[in-house]
Structure 1
Amino acid sequence: MSPTPDAADRPAGAVGRSVVIDRPGVHRLVEREVPVPGPGEVLVRVAAAGICMSDREVLDGHRAPGYVRYPVTPGHEWAGTVEAVGAGVDPALVGRRTVAEGFRSCGTCERCRCGETSLCTGGYAETGFTEPGAFADHLTVPARLLHPLPDDADLRAAALLEPAAVSAAAVRAGRPRPTERVAVVGAGTLGLLAVQLLAASSPAELVVVDPRAARAGAALRFGATDALTPQDAEALHGRFDLVVETAGAPSTAASSCLLARRGGRVVLTGMFSAGATGIDPVHLSVSQLEIRSVFGASSAAWADAVRAFALGLLDPAPLVTHEFPLERFAEAVALVGSGDPKAGKVLLRP
């Protein structure tokens, strides 16, 4: 039997490709030596990496200051296979299919020790934004952030486990219970993944609100009981025990609160721009709403998403509509947020 590969076994000078955004509006595809995993790290060969609007914000220069560090190789949604391990890492990980958490949480601050790793106070660091990401043939990540997958896992679908973990964080925050009436506002990637996770909680109703007819149809296939336009949903104000907002549109935080019953729960996951419609404080206090927000995903939410994927309760594969090689990064990222009704999740396949 041949020895298990580790960092020392890698051939010197092996070359790989990566997309690098030097500064807003400027990117290039470069060839560099394949990185060597340091102590506590693994080297992953990327199988697929998803593109989301935050990647386009990095390219366009619209990412909030402090949440990106140029030059950077983007790519925070990915799946791949462990190819080598650094010192102190279990060599049995080599050959495992895997995903990994994006937040480089410190693991020692009060919030991390309470399990709230997405609220780490040790300073913001995230794969694809401040650390090299997965729009590349390879990347290195701390082994402690890995979530190994089943041996037969579909890595193309698993690339969507990062947004699925965010949706799982929203579901954890919302605490759905069987027979409740639930609404999901927005039928983009986060919304459709949330529908699948919420359907597993046996709701009495699972209504999706989105103006796009094609997206509404997908929601029904994923387990929603009904799909409505925002205008039609106005007739259901005050109906739902739980409302999960995923759209981040200017009006959806406020409209989600109107959909909730008195004493209901609202979870906001959308990334809102300045000037979005605020939540009426009078309605909030009189209705005694419980409102939570989600930014990223904790380790526990990642575990939930990976477990649901392994059990077949979560199938992200139908969301993928386009796949591009690294060389066509510009074309791929332009498709994201373009308004093309045929564009769902866009992948890069190194």
Structure 2
Amino acid sequence: MKAAVLYEAHKPLVIEDVTIDGPRDGEVLARVVATGACHSDYHVMDGSWHGSNFPMPVVLGHEAAGIVEKVGPGVTSVKPGDHVIMSFAPSCGRCKRCSGGQPHLCQSMSGGRGTMYDGSRRIRRGNDLLYHFGGGMSSFAELSLLHESQAVKVRKDIQLDRAALIGCAIMTGVGAVLNTARVEPGATMAVFGTGGVGLSVVQGGVLANASRIIAVDLKANKLAYAREMGATDTINASDADPVDAIKEITGGQGVDYAFDAIGFASVSRQCYDVTRRGGTTVVVGMAPTGQEIPIPATIPGEEKIVKGCFYGSTRPQIDFPRLVDFYLAGKLKIDQMLTRRYKFDEINESFDALHRGDNARGVIMLS
């Protein structure tokens, strides 16, 4: 099969012939139809995550949808031919976190950086083992090997390029609002960063019936996307201080909920500063390795809550099908988010566009 391999940070992905093991007990082999170009992959490519310490050569990719090719012994939830959205958070279903409704924080299947959920590696170039990404799924390849919990069956009347976006950006952003923050009707919220995740936070605010959704970005085209997704107000941070602007919009009070959908400590601090007393700051974006968020010592008197959000606090088997239903009912604007499709051999171009901020979301089509 073909896979896009990263050999070194700051270098292009190289499409090469590789092999992948067949599924073992409890595993699924799926053909990747569509996979998103996401900043989490880009952060490895540009060295901002773990720098030169990230294990390479690696097959990246973690936002994808496809069709089941083969299942290993013991798999009961999917069969060959089923359409699936792939989750980058494998779960055992038995540990304390899974039993408590937090399968995305599974204690048993964290694997290791660059490996499958069980610590193994299954992709080879010749005799050399390559490293994995995204809970082992490595979707920048024609085939993806998954734990059964990562292959979530969905109805076949959603096109798989749309379904792929649910696997990361939409789940993370919408989930940050509905699952992590649990924004209530009538609440006010601000979103810093209007890439794929931030635009999904905006859409989550619409689904939650927030009364005001303020979007912040440096690029006019991305703020236009935010308005299309349902933002009530937009602030171009290259023209105005977003903290001052949000305080002015809210009569000096700040918002009930502020979301950092970028992943920089300075942005997280801005989110904290625009959160009202007793409100909630949600850190969604993953910051470069080594950054720390400065929180003022006045936090006890302000009773502000600072929450991390991993993968939209997802329960994939519940949330993925629900988001598909939302889309097919016209409640999620996935068509408008998917602004360009790329052929597999254009994958590096997709990340150049991501870096420039050209697209709401770009998707690489593998079949």
- The bucket for the TM-score relative to the shorter chain is 0.7 to 0.9
Q: Deviations over 1:272-326 (max 9, x none)?
A: 2368684442342221101101133444267335412322222323222333222
Question: Does structure 1 residue 181 correspond to structure 2 residue 179?
Answer: no
Partner of 2:40: 54
Partner of 1:236: 246
Runs of 5+ unmatched residues, structure 1: 1-15
Residue 319 of structure 1 corresponds to which residue in structure 2? 337
- Alignment partners' CA distance in 1, 2:358 and 2:51: 32
Q: Deviations over 1:239-270 (max 9, x none)?
A: 31112221224521111112111111111112
Q: Which moved more, 1:322-331 or 1:146-155?
A: 322-331
Aligned counterparts of 1:290 and 1:348: Cα–Cα separation in 2: 38
Q: Residue 49 of structure 1: SS of its match in structure 2? A: strand
Partner of 2:276, secondary structure, is: strand
Distance of aligned partners of 1:305 and 1:224 in 2 relative to their CA distance in 1, 3 Å threshold = farther
Q: Secondary structure at the match of 2:4?
A: strand
> 1:60-139, aligned counterparts within 5 Å?
60-64=46-50, 68-90=54-76, 93-122=79-108, 123-125=110-112, 128-129=133-134, 131-139=136-144
In structure 2, the partner of 1:7 is none
Q: Are residues 1:271 and 2:286 paired?
A: yes
Seen in structure 2, the aligned counterparts of structure 1 residues 63 and 124 have a Cα distance that, compared at 3 Å, is farther
User: 1: CA distance between counterparts of 2:25 and 2:64?
Assistant: 22
Deviations 1:192-214 (A, max 9, x none): 01111220111221221223222
Structure 1 counterpart SS, 2:34: strand
Report the Cα offset of residue 78 of structure 1.
0.5
Answer yes or no: is 1:286 the counterpart of 2:268: no
Q: Which residue of the other structure, out of 330, 336, 342, is the alignment partner of 2:348?
A: 330
**Cα gap change, 1:30 to 1:205, in 2 (>3 Å):** same
Q: 2:199 maps to which residue?
A: 192
Give the paired residue count: 333
2:49 match: secondary structure: coil
Structure 2 residue 43 is matched with structure 1 residue 40: no
C-alpha contact (below 8 Å) 2:175/2:314 kept by paired residues: no
CA contact under 8 A between 1:166 and 1:295: conserved in structure 2? yes
Structure 1 partner of 2:361: 345
Q: Would you say the 8 A contact 1:164–1:305 is kept in 2?
A: no
Q: Is the 8 A contact 2:152 2:316 kept in 1?
A: no
Provide the C-alpha distance between the structure 2 equivalents of 1:92 and 1:304, rounded to a whole number of angstroms.
17
Distance 1:137 1:291 in 2: 39
- In 2, the alpha carbon distance for the partners of 1:43 and 1:164 equals 24
Instruction: Report what 1:166 is aligned to.
Output: 172
Question: What whole-Å deviation, never above 9, does each CA across 1:132-156 have from its counterpart, x for those lacking one?
Answer: 5111111121222222222111211
Partner in structure 1 of residue 121 of structure 2: none
Residue equivalent to 2:126: none
TM-score by length of 1: 0.84
Partners of 1:71 and 1:346 lie apart in 2 by 24
Pair 1:183–1:306, CA change in 2 (3 A): farther
Q: Deviations over 1:108-142 (max 9, x none)?
A: 43323323233333344466256251111111212
Residue identity matched to 1:18: A
Q: Does 1:17 align with 2:2?
A: yes
Contact map agreement 1:72 1:130 (CA 8 A) in 2: no
1:333/1:229 CA distance change after superposition, 3 Å: closer
Range 100-109 or range 289-298, more displaced: 100-109
Give the whole-Å Cα distance in 1 for the aligned partners of 2:27 and 2:277: 48
Distance 1:67 1:206, change over 3 A: farther
Q: Partner amino acid for 1:263?
A: G
Percentage of identical aligned residues: 26
SS in 1 for 2:315: helix
Please state if 1:262 is matched with 2:311: no
SS in 1 for 2:174: helix
Please tell me whether the aligned partners of residues 152 and 320 of structure 2 are also in contact (alpha carbons under 8 angstroms): no
Aligned partners of 1:168 and 1:305 also within 8 Å = no
Amino acid at match of 2:346: R
TM-score by structure 2 length? 0.81
1:183/1:99 CA distance change after superposition, 3 Å: same
Change (3 A) 1:92 1:186: closer
CA shift in 2, pair 1:262/1:298, >3 Å: closer
In structure 2, what is the Cα distance between the partners aligned to 1:72 and 1:253?
A: 30
Counterpart amino acid of residue 236 in structure 1: I
**1:183/1:108 Cα in 2 relative to 1: closer, same or farther (>3 Å)?**
same
Q: Report the equivalent of 2:213.
A: 206
Which residue in 2 is equivalent to 1:247? Answer: 262
Task: Give unpaired runs (5+ residues) of structure 2.
Answer: 117-131, 248-252
Structure 1 residues 105 and 222: alpha-carbon distance in aligned structure 2, compared to 1, 3 A threshold: same
Give 1:9's aligned residue: none
Q: Does 1:149 align with 2:154?
A: yes
Return closer, same or farther for 1:74/1:235 CA change in 2, 3 Å cut-off.
closer
Tell me the amino acid that sits aligned with residue 196 of structure 2.
Answer: T
Tell me, yes or no, if the aligned pair for 1:267 and 1:294 is still in contact at 8 Å: yes
